[in-house]
Every structure is written in C-alpha cells, then in structure tokens.
Chain A
Amino acid sequence: MTWSLHRVDDRLIHGQVVVAWGQRVNPRTIWVVDDESAASTWERELLESAAPGVDVKVLTVADAIAGYAAEAGHGGAGILLVRDLATARALVEGGLPIPSFNVGGLHYAAGKDKINEYVYLDAADRDDARALLDRGVTLVVQDVPASRPQDLAQLDPAIATP
C-alpha cells in the first residue's frame, strides 16, 4: 500500500476527505490517528462507518507508529489523518518516515491567529510546525485537491522564530 496523503485536519473524517480527497486518492484505507477517539468504542464505530467502502481504522499514536510500515505492505492507497500538528509531530518523532503533511483544517479557537480561512495557529502549534520543518517534513496548506497548495512556513513567517 502507498500512504498517499498525510493530513492534519481537526474534523478528522469529513466531506473534504471522504469526497474530494477520496476521489483523488481512491483510498483502500483511512487511518485516523487520535488517542482520544481511539479510547472511545462509540467514537471508533462512528468514524469507521463514516466512509462507506473504505477500511477505516482508528488508532492511538503508539499503535500507528507500531503498525505503519506493516500496513504499507498491503495493496492500494492510504490516507492518514491527525487532528493537530502535535499529533503529526509525535508520529514523526516516533520514527515514521512521513515526508509531508497536508494541512487541511485547523479551525478557529480562542487565542489562535488566522493564517487563512481554514488554518489558525497559536504558539504551541507553531512550535510543533517548527519541529516538523526542522526534521525536513514539508507542511502544505491545501483544503481540497482543486485548490492551490501553499507552503505553511511562507504563509506564516512567525513559525520560523521560537
């Protein structure tokens, strides 16, 4: 299997992922890597049912790190979703060879600065982004395949300075 898309999106599974990226990637598998969701049987069942025809799994960060390479041995394409940059960072620092994250949705919350219509960051998010960039991971802001990809570090120069 090819991990075709690694995406940071606080909505996890939703329309842009299921419909827009789903059409582009045609995934066999979607992994939702989120400790909070993985801890809830009900939440796991909800997310696993949200993309009919796709094998959705909800995993903890630890389980994702342990199973990532083996999953790549299966056929088809895969999408990996995380809720925030902190989880993306945890996967990379845990050793996963992820070259790039698509930043698809980090919506407004109190104390966050607007970067564009669907990306808002605070100091902790910027620390996580900087850590990812320092490890050579690219961060590409793009909500749907039809929109223009943009470099997060260029959109938000404040990421460069701790």
Chain B
Amino acid sequence: MMARVPALLATHADLAAALLRAAERVYGAIEDVEIVTNEGLSRRDLERVIGERVERWPAGGIVMCDFWGGSCHVCGAAVTRGRNDVAVVTGVNLPMLLDFLHNRDQLDAAALADRLVQKGHDSIRIQRGVPA
C-alpha cells in the first residue's frame, strides 16, 4: 500500500478555496489537501508560505498552481528545487483535482503528475452544436 500523496492548491485570489469546496461537493470530505492564496504576498513571503507546507511532506506531494508563469508556479518551483518527490503542476482544474483524489492512494507524486496533466488536457473539450 502506497502512502497517500498530499497536495497543496496554490492560486490567485480565492480560486484554491473554491476549487476545494467544489471538489468536496463531488467527492465528499477531503483530507490532506491544503490551500494557499498569493493575495498580498511578496515573492519571498509566498515562497515561505508554500515552503512551510511542502516541508511537512516527508514522502513528497503535489503542488497544483493556476497558471504557468504566475507567482504560485514560480514560488512553488523555487521552494521545491531539489525535491524529486514533489511535483509542481500548473493549469489546475476541477477534473484534475478530482482525478488526483481518486488516484493518490495508488500512485506516487511523479506518476500522478503525469496523469493529471493528461487528465487536464482531456477535460478541455468543445461541445459541438447539435443540428436542430
């Protein structure tokens, strides 16, 4: 049995909190997923806030950020350098978060990260109009 992989949602404004709440509606009660907002934080302070959480992961975990190049991504990457057991994934959406919850007891952080990227891509689709 693999250890359950923890996660940190790090985003702008209240997105992380809202994503977590939305996921709970679909999945049920969620444990070991923390949230961080970059609101009002300098680069150093955001690194400290993310770092404090990641340090509590002895066996690794996943940092999910809203978008590539945002402060959460940059700070998440900066504080997890050298941590091969921690993956930083950007572009988090609800299907990714749900897939993470359903697979984090079976896969390690690296395998989960690959899976989540694919899941995120696959979840973005166009509903073509049906002819009247």
Residues on B with C-beta less than 8 A from A14 are 38, 43, 69-71, 74
A43, B79: Cα distance in complex, Å: 11
Q: When the two chains form their complex, are residues A47 and B74 in contact, meaning their CB atoms are under 8 A apart?
A: yes
* A1-33 vs B, Cβ < 8 Å mask (1 yes, 0 no): 000000000111111001100000000000000
Query: What's the dominant secondary structure at chain A's contact region?
Result: loop
* CB of A117 within 8 Å of the partner chain: yes
Docked-complex contact A10 and B43, CB < 8 angstroms: yes
Q: Are B74 and A13 in contact (CB under 8 A)?
A: yes
Chain B CB within 8 A of A70 CB? no
Whether, in the assembled complex, A50 has its beta carbon less than 8 Å from a beta carbon of chain B, the answer is yes
Is A96 engaged at the interface, CB distance under 8 Å to the other chain? Answer: no
B81 in contact with A18 (CB, 8 Å):
no
Question: Which residues of the partner chain B approach A47 to less than 8 Å between Cβ atoms?
Answer: 74
Q: Does A39 contact B (CB under 8 A)?
A: no
Taken together as a complex, chains A and B put the C-alpha atoms of A106 and B42 apart, in Å, by 7
Q: Which positions 62-94 of chain B face chain A at CB distance < 8 Å? A: 66-71, 73-74, 77-78, 81
CA distance A108 to B66 in the complex (A): 23
Say if the beta carbon of B45 comes within 8 Å of chain A: yes
Residues on the A chain within 8 Å of B66, using CB: 15
Residues of the B chain whose Cβ atoms lie less than 8 Å from the Cβ of A13: 69, 74
Closest beta carbon of chain A to B19's beta carbon, Å:
17
Binding site for A on B (CB under 8 A): 12, 38, 40-46, 66-71, 73-74, 77-78, 81
11 interchain pairs (CB within 8 A)? A10-B43, A11-B42, A11-B46, A11-B71, A12-B74, A15-B69, A50-B74, A107-B40, A107-B42, A108-B40, A108-B42
